[in-house]
With several copies, the nearest count.
Chain A
């Protein structure tokens, strides 16, 4: 059975709304507009305005309302239209949602799910092309999910709602139209485990989110050139399943990390540092990183492409590393 990432997200949401009457969706244009990326088309008609709440342009406000509703016993799913606007609501997420359980010694829980579209690659220029998921993984108390496959796009919401902690789910805009084979029933592999999407002995390519498909493509191309590498999809950035990474490195001894975030202080740095700490003696060569160039994303297509890791660049890097 084939399904697109968009359909998968929709199925995940449908499932959540059908299963639990305390789940509701709130965000800008989730209702009458049908969802900025058409994920929630007709939901308003189907579930009504109490469960599909079109919010005004008030990111601090409706994220705060989501936190309060979660404290009060509901299971809110807040949609921040894109990660770019999450900057307006970070205070609520970081200095409230993430800390309430710890600061109250376990009394409070904030079972809040926040979905947002992330990533560059569509010529939307600097203000609309950010990739902050890796950066936000710095915050203890949050969980950070980055579904890269259609299967994960379908099942992650269910996992997020199962727990009682704030979870941010980053849906990559470039993946929405991707179609992949999926099983008829959602597969339930915990999102808190990294998955080896392709096995191979020569190098561990570590990536997540929007970069996964192009990494896999590069790996397939390399395969044909006789360079058989392993591709790890992190799936969740916090908590990070670093065990899977370390095990892979014991086998391959070489690592390339591909991260859509700006290089300095990106999540790739944390991965590299952990490898340093845990696999130093397993490495045959220094860990390498391919990341976003450290500039705001420009509008012009060729500049944007030069700023974000592309398949060809990834492939060339693998070849260089295995020369």
Chain B
């Protein structure tokens, strides 16, 4: 992988991180409301996976999806405007943080019913297979979602009918306050997939190199075999589940331990030590990120409010 590509990856992780930090601030300022779930700590996963995706590829993610949306190509300004509840938001202000949707980027959201998007992505992939329209279909979900029946039903059908989906489990060890080990009897998540005869791999989600390598293997397999693939990314969220979470359920030391494995610091240090990047370049990237995000915030602040008369639009096809 050449220097410029690696720089882009670092840049993308920094963009996601900074956007999330700003979201947290904007939340305390009450510019962003509702539920807000931050991806801080998990950036290498979306960054690595999205690296391989093309505009025409389909993605479904969860309520923790700001980073995924950004890296799938949804402009930061439309993401931010969405969280501000403005018409310029990617979902017209109707979705908010949990429901970033952008059809031009084939980013199907932003879904907040845990696991509901898993069979839906299988459906997207089935359509792509039937229509032969050369789209990949990728689904992101947390390890908590794997306890839901929907996961099980979807895996079985994807395997049975050879539907080419990439299942990306972001295993951050907790579903809200419930540790994986307190909620699932099988802790090796790849076994859950393999048991449906779905090929599976576990990945260190804090290491972008490994994310890239294993995602590539998975996508190649899907391309070659026309079958589904499951990736478990072992990762960690550095922040509480949402802005409402008192975070009472995890030992402080555990959080600290994981923070030491920050995927951004890891890549930065690696690139610096290999002299693939300079501190000046990193500063420059920082500035670019800041500029992008501040521009996004200004854009959002200046956004307009949907006229209340339009509330009942868009319910059915002809409700323009």
B280 at the binding interface (Cβ < 8 Å):
no
A299 near B103: Cβ-Cβ < 8 Å? no
Chain A positions within 8 Å of B154 at CB level: 61, 64-65
Q: Are A163 and B123 in contact (CB under 8 A)?
A: no
Segment of A7-15, A67-75, A150-158, A222-230 engaged in the interface with chain B: A67-75
A56 close to chain B: CB less than 8 A? yes
Q: Report the number of A-B residue pairs with Cβ-Cβ less than 8 Å.
A: 277
Q: Is the CB of B115 within 8 A of A141?
A: no
Instruction: List, in ascending order, chain B residues with CB within 8 A of A294's CB.
Output: 312, 315
Give every chain A residue within 8 A of B122 (Cβ-Cβ).
Answer: 61, 64-65, 68
Contact, CB under 8 Å: A68 / B124: yes
- CB contact list, B113-149 vs A, under 8 A: 113-116, 118-128, 130-131, 133, 135, 137, 144-145, 147-149
The tally of residues in A whose CB lies under 8 Å from a CB in B reads 75
A36 to B248, CA, bound (A): 12
Chain B residues in 8 Å Cβ range of A163:
316-317
- Cβ–Cβ < 8 Å partners of A306 in chain B: 308, 311
Check: A311 CB closer than 8 A to any chain B CB: no
List A residues 44-61 near B (Cβ within 8 Å): 50, 53-61
A33-B153 Cα distance, complex, nearest whole Å: 21
Q: How many residues of B contact A (CB 8 A)?
A: 80
Q: How far is the CA of A300 from the CA of B94 in the complex (A)?
A: 6
Complex Cα distance, B101 from A296, in Å, reads: 15
Of B85, B145, B149, B315, which contacts A61 at CB under 8 A?
B149
Chain B residues whose C-beta falls within 8 Å of the C-beta of A96 in the assembled complex: 111, 113, 116, 120
- Residues on B with C-beta less than 8 A from A59 are 148
CB of A298 within 8 Å of the partner chain: yes
Residue with the highest number of chain A CB atoms closer than 10 Å, among B144, B147, B316, B317:
B316
A69 touches B127 (CB 8 A): yes
Q: Pick out which of these stretches binds chain A: B4-12, B172-180, B287-295.
A: B172-180
Of B116, B131, B315, which contacts A140 at CB under 8 A? B315
Residue of A24, A33, A61 contacting most chain B CB atoms (<10 Å): A61
> Is B96 within 8 A of A123, CB to CB?
yes
- Expressed in whole angstroms, the Cα–Cα distance for A170 and B116 within the complex equals 24
- Interchain CB contact under 8 A, B184 and A72: no
- Residues in B with CB closer than 8 Å to A122 are 33-34
Which residues of chain A (16-63) have a CB below 8 Å from chain B? 22, 24, 28-29, 31-34, 36, 38, 50, 53-63
A-B residue pairs in contact (CB < 8 Å), sample of 13:
A32-B179, A33-B176, A33-B178, A56-B184, A60-B119, A60-B149, A76-B123, A84-B113, A101-B315, A103-B91, A128-B112, A300-B86, A300-B305
A56-B157, A72-B58 given; name 12 further pairs at CB < 8 Å.
A33-B248, A36-B244, A65-B154, A72-B125, A72-B135, A73-B127, A101-B314, A125-B99, A143-B316, A299-B82, A300-B85, A303-B94
